[in-house]
Amino acid sequence: MDFSPSERVVALRELARKFLATQVAPLEPVVHTQGWAAVQERLVVVRERAKETGLFAPHMPEELGGGGLTLLEQAQLSEELGGNLLGHYAFNFAAPDVGNMELLHAFGSPEQKEQWLKPLVAGESRSTFLMTEPEHAGSNPVWMSTTAKRDGEDWVIRGHKWFATGADGAQFAVVMAVTDPEADHPYARASMFLVPTDAEGFALVRNISVMGHSGSGWASHGEVMLHGVKVPNDNLLGPAGGGFMLAQTRLGPGRIHHATRWIGVCQRAIDMMCRYAAERELAPGKPLGTRQTVQEWIAESRAEVEAARLLVLQTAWKIEQHGEYREDVSLIKFHVAGVLQRILDRAIQVHGALGMTDDTPLAYWYAHERASRIYDGPDEVHKRVVARSMLKRYGLKLRSTGKS
């Protein structure tokens, strides 16, 4: 396995790097100090310019207006974009839209693709994903109260969701709801629906305050009530009872996207740590980087990010070659999230008081990426998946609990 970037990927990354430096980087400090709303209109212009690079929606086929990159190529580009707070959004490669595009492309009907997918790929709309519920543990995905019941040719959806990223301003939501609570197999009880956010009964209750920041627009996590929202049967995404199958299909590549973005964050943090250690003087002629402890932090960070990168690229390669690898996807989810936390912590420590301010992106990442060890399955669940899979190969019989 050779994960060296191809000449094409090298050129694409250089193109993205230059675009980020000139078009996106100036907006980053504005987000730190003034929030998403202060850059939202300017990002509309930036995204239009990003389309001219040919990298807009890189995960989508060229015939749909995307970049047509393979999963491995996406991973290598994603790292470049991850070094900027707005990099993925600028290129229409950000969650939750990226996962919803992949779902619609794989399972949407021709009519659904025309109505929902094409505007999303073009950056003319935004979406959100509603699965997590405040009343139930997200680590047990079969435990869900939101229901969808047939009413003639329609479905009526009632429920309570939260941590719906980007719900504020989204044009539609992909909603997971129980459609057959009596199904023999617990993973055949729920379905997915395409729900317009302006439908009667769809209510954005609030943008949840996360680590002291409630956010707005795409940079928010909404709490949503579904008060008897009625949608036609044509809005059923994929087969009835196929919700969990679709969710796993969405989350596999999604964890590749997350992990490569985190690696981009790590690389940026390491660059900042090294630059500050080389320039900041503790006393005249004594840079911070002359201290052994700081040198150890830098070396440890380099080793961890290099190993994490290879693990993620190997997983992307395996998925491309052989299909989904659940064990490998779980490995990268908890491992890279942990690497991210440790590197950010070291970078802040090196920067001292400066690292706690919003003069750098470190504090923002430290607060907002703590969730990386929770969303898309907490660390403990993914470690359990890996351990159980390994132990089965040694003959240990483990009883299924119905949890992921």
Could you write out the DSSP letters of every residue in 112-164? HIIIIIHHHHTTS--EEEE---TTS-TT-TT----EEEEETTEEEEEEEEEEE
Predicted TM-score of the model (pTM): 0.92
Q: Show which of 187, 204, 237 is a domain's final residue.
A: 237
Residue 379: other Cβ atoms inside 10 A? 16
pLDDT value of position 314: 94
Same domain flag for 230 and 268: no
Cβ atoms of 355 and 363 within 8 Å: the answer is yes
- What residue type is 19 in one-letter code? F
Cβ atoms of 164 and 128 within 8 Å: the answer is yes
Same domain flag for 16 and 76: yes
Question: Whole domain around residue 161: which residue ranges?
Answer: 127-237
Same domain flag for 309 and 293: yes
Asked if the bond preceding 96 is cis, omega within 30° of 0, the reply is yes
Residues of the chain with pLDDT under 50: 402-404
**CATH (domain of 279):** 1.20.140.10
Secondary structure (DSSP) of 319-379: HHHHS--HHHHHHHHHHHHHHHHHHHHHHHHHHTHHHHSTTSSHHHHHHHGGGGGTTTS-H
Q: How many domains does the chain have?
A: 3
Same domain flag for 232 and 360: no
Same domain flag for 219 and 335: no
Q: Is residue 106 part of a domain?
A: no
Burial 203-214 (b: 16+ CB within 10 A, else e): ebeebbeeeebe
**CATH (domain of 83):** 1.10.540.10
Cβ atoms of 244 and 321 within 8 Å: the answer is no
pLDDT value of position 403: 44
Comparing C-alpha atoms, which of 356, 339, 355, 348 is closest to residue 266?
339
**CATH (domain of 173):** 2.40.110.10
Helices 243-279, 97-107: axis angle to 10 degrees equals: 150
Q: Show which of 237, 254, 275 is a domain's final residue.
A: 237
Cβ atoms of 131 and 247 within 8 Å: the answer is yes
- CA dist 305 → 26, 70, 78, 83, 310 (Å): 26, 22, 15, 13, 9
DSSP state of 27: G
Q: What distance in Å separates the CA atoms of residue 227 and residue 360, rounded to the nearest whole number?
A: 42
Cβ atoms of 31 and 220 within 8 Å: the answer is no
Q: What distance in Å separates the CA atoms of residue 53 and residue 67, rounded to the nearest whole number?
A: 9
pLDDT value of position 80: 96
State the Rg of the chain over Cα. 22
Cβ atoms of 59 and 66 within 8 Å: the answer is yes
pLDDT value of position 324: 67
- What residue type is 80 in one-letter code? E
Same domain flag for 36 and 88: yes
Q: What distance in Å separates the CA atoms of residue 232 and residue 45, rounded to the nearest whole number?
A: 35
Q: Is residue 115 part of a domain?
A: no
Comparing C-alpha atoms, which of 6, 126, 123, 129 is closest to residue 55?
123
Cβ atoms of 174 and 193 within 8 Å: the answer is yes
pLDDT value of position 402: 45
Block residue for tokens 């040198």: 295
What the block records as the tokens of 216 is 């707005």
Q: What distance in Å separates the CA atoms of residue 390 and residue 384, rounded to the nearest whole number?
A: 10
Cβ atoms of 304 and 347 within 8 Å: the answer is no
pLDDT value of position 269: 98
Q: Show which of 47, 75, 94 is a domain's final residue.
A: 94
Same domain flag for 291 and 309: yes
Q: For residue 204, what is the enclosing H or E element?
A: strand 202-207
